[in-house]
Chains A and B, each alone.
Chain A
Amino acid sequence: MGSRALLMLTNFNFKATVSSFGSASNPFFLIKNNLRIRNFSTKTRSSLQPPDLPGLAETARISLAPNEVEEFAPKIGQVIDWFGQLQAVDLDNVEPAIRADTEGDNLREDVPQTFENKEALIASVPSYEEPYIKVPKVLNKE
């Protein structure tokens, strides 16, 4: 079956191999009915740069320990590769949908309303020095 071949050629590292196709642990059992693959190239793998974890971590403002980088990199790589299958789908002339759009415009009057429970808001702040929320200094990086 075409799709089985595709799976083998794309080298996904998933535990359930093609031989156990009938089991519920195989994540790709439903790909076989995809009718919209434009060409039967084996490139469902993303052709973009693989994720640069330390760079992403800096953008996301999360510091990662070296063992975390080691642990996450293969898993994230695997998932991003899996995302890559959307590259092969013919999406010409399809409008992107921001949300399900089950309803139309729904804005309220642009009138400010006072929030009464200010004490609770302030009580949640970890480091407060009236009237400032206190944070450490900002270091300007080049």
Chain B
Amino acid sequence: MLSTIQPPRYLSRFPLRGRTKSRSFHILSSAQPVTKTCFAADQSQILSIRDSLLNRHLSAVELTHSYLDRLKQTEPHINCFLHVSDPDKVLKQAQDIDDKIKRNEEVGPLAGVLVAIKDNICTADMPSTGGSYILEGYRPPFDATAVKRLKDLGAIVVGKTNLDEFGMGSTTEASAFKVTANPWDLSRVPGGSSGGSAASVSARQCVVSLGSDTGGSVRQPASFCGVVGLKPTYGRVSRFGLMAYASSLDVIGCFGSSVADTGILLHAISGHDSLDATSSKREVPDFTSQFTYASSLKSRPLEGLRVGLIRETVDAGVDSGVKSAIEGAAAHLEQLGCVLKEVSLPSFSLGLPAYYILASSESSSNLSRYDGVRYGNQASSDELNGLYEESRAKGFGSEVKMRILMGTYALSAGYYDAYYKRAQQVRTIIRKSFKAALDENDILISPAAPSAAYKIGEKKNDPLAMYAGDIMTVNVNLAGLPALVLPCGFVEGGAVGLPVGLQIIGAAFDEEKLVKVGHIFEQTLEGYNFVPPLITDVGGASA
């Protein structure tokens, strides 16, 4: 049953507190027309904020206070941030927006939207550590292109989020500074490496956030934290200012509490950048034009869409709870009109070792720049090699050291053909097999991870067990394809269950289709509340 009135979901996306009681969001019912798009503001936090600000129902300062209060309340429990912006500076930016609106001046489409940025993405006015001691206190001399674009559109950067050091890890446990907790169960990991960014959106400390995805680092935490994560096609978003881990695999990705917000954010940061030679010159379509008003959806809005469920991802070894959630999601897609079938990608399992060979090798090269000479922490030594060796020994954590050593090995003379070259050949095979599957199907679906969030400390000492969790995500990076993860169900665990995400994979540069399908899926999914109990418990906010 498609219904236009969805107050519980709506409120559960944006619990308000204190100050804004008198300016209730109830005013923004679905009956109210919104600027130029034809769908209700309650499908997108970003659009509802824009609406409230322009119609003077809410000021940017009030909105910012609301988020900053929630951040302050939840942060001691979840530890998402390595650096939080000075509240006075943030409120000043909000005030500037309010002043502009009062003077009837134009404000950007992201005006007043609070964004958190993963700490391996450079921000000129804030420390950017990459989660590592070697860059403790480092302040980049420039903003990453993605950050610059957000700021130009009026977004307010609320802080830098925690991550596994240089993106190497799946839990944030490899951060030099702190471990982030999953808002759904504080004894569990939020996923990684963009765990801080995912948890921050999940806990509504910010509206949206940026992360990076090299082998699943946006999609897996999105699944673990019950938020939407979008990995664009390699080349869609400029990597300038993203601290390189594996240059042929890295992308900057987006988190939001809804598909619409994630799509809007991606659109804002996408596009060619002359500072990134791998950035694509392709046109970036307006993803929001794909969104449809819930009530005007036909009864089977995705009629005829060919969906391929990757058989190897629902085999033995995947949690039975995750399998049921994905089966439920597949059934939901069928109800929406999709034609579902199983597809097999026989080379699927090769992707994992190939990925780790390529990623370790490329990282061993990329991380050679951290030598204590031009930036970062410098150890003392009376000769140059010693300076390098000591600075790096003291500055890097164990996981990073191990991966650099593995990569150095794989690239050594005599071993290059056996490892790196073979991994590149496997990459070709995987690209071709995905392309063939996507010629027969419009999208492919799978879980984002073989399980829901596990306990902190559970996989810390077993690298292979941790790497195994990436099986669902790495192949997409090898093929350079876009993928969307959105919450589709729960498994047992924690106080109310642990969220599970559905991964939707598309053809290169087809983010538009992913966002369209994800949006319809999300709007028609009933019976689930993806706001963690932490938010409703803290300060008694209504949800």
A141 to B401, CA, bound (A): 24
A114 on the B face (CB < 8 A): no
Closest CB-CB distance, B68 to chain A, in whole Å? 28
Contact bitstring B302-320, A, C-beta under 8 A = 1, else 0? 0000000000100111110
A97 pairs with B427, CB closer than 8 A: yes
User: With an 8 A cutoff between CB atoms, is A9 at the interface?
Assistant: no
Interface class of chain A by DSSP? loop
Q: Tell me whether B425 and A53 are in contact (CB under 8 A).
A: no
**Given A30-B315, A86-B350, A136-B384: A102 touches B508 (CB 8 Å cut-off):** yes
Q: Are B312 and A80 within 8 A (Cβ)?
A: no
Residues of A within 8 A of B316 (CB): 21-22, 29
Query: How far is the CB of B425 from the nearest CB of chain A, in Å?
Result: 4
CA distance in complex: A95, B113 (Å): 46
Q: How many A-B residue pairs have CB under 8 A?
A: 246
A120 within 8 A of B: yes
B392 at the interface (CB under 8 A from A): yes
A142 within 8 A of B: no
When the two chains form the complex, which single residue of B344, B348, B392, B414 contacts A61, counting CB atoms closer than 8 Å?
Answer: B392
Segment touching A, from B34-42, B57-65, B74-82, B351-359: B351-359
Instruction: Please classify how large the interface on chain B is, using the bins under 10, 10 to 19, 20 to 34, 35 or more.
Output: 35 or more
Knowing A48-B415, A102-B235, A102-B480 are in contact, say whether A79-B410 is a contact too (CB < 8 A): no
Q: Which of B234-252 touch A at CB < 8 Å?
A: 234-235, 247-249
Is residue A135 contacting chain B, with contact meaning CB distance below 8 A?
Answer: yes
B-contact bits for A12-32, CB 8 A (1 contact / 0 none): 001110000111111111110
- Min CB distance B492 to A, Å, is 14
Give the CA-CA distance A51 to B15 in the complex, in Å.
54
CB distance A125 to B383 under 8 Å?
A: no
Inter-subunit contact A61/B371 (CB<8 Å):
yes
User: Does A107 lie at the interface of the complex (its beta carbon under 8 Å from any beta carbon of B)?
Assistant: yes
Contact B381 A136 (CB under 8 A): yes
Residue in B closest to A121 when the chains form the complex, CB atoms: B141
Are B350 and A89 interface neighbours, CB within 8 A?
yes
Q: Is the CB of B465 within 8 A of A27?
A: yes
Task: Take A62-B396, A101-B480 as given contacts and tell me if A51 and B354 are in contact as well, using a CB distance cutoff of 8 Å.
Answer: no
Shortest Cβ distance from residue B253 to the other chain A in the assembled complex, whole angstroms: 15
Query: Is B192 in contact with chain A by the CB < 8 A criterion?
Result: no
Q: Interface with A: B160-168, B213-221, B272-280, which one?
A: B272-280
Q: Does B426 contact A (CB under 8 A)?
A: yes
- Chain A residue numbers with a CB within 8 Å of B428 are 94-97
Q: Does B112 contact A (CB under 8 A)?
A: no
Contact A72 B372 (CB under 8 A): no
In this complex, the member of A75, A102, A120 whose beta carbon has the largest number of chain B beta carbons within 10 angstroms is A102
**What are 21 residue pairs bridging A and B, where the CB atoms are less than 8 Å apart in the complex?**
A15-B465, A26-B468, A33-B348, A35-B346, A57-B405, A62-B396, A63-B390, A63-B392, A65-B393, A68-B398, A68-B401, A76-B409, A79-B464, A83-B356, A86-B357, A100-B479, A102-B234, A120-B140, A125-B374, A135-B387, A139-B384
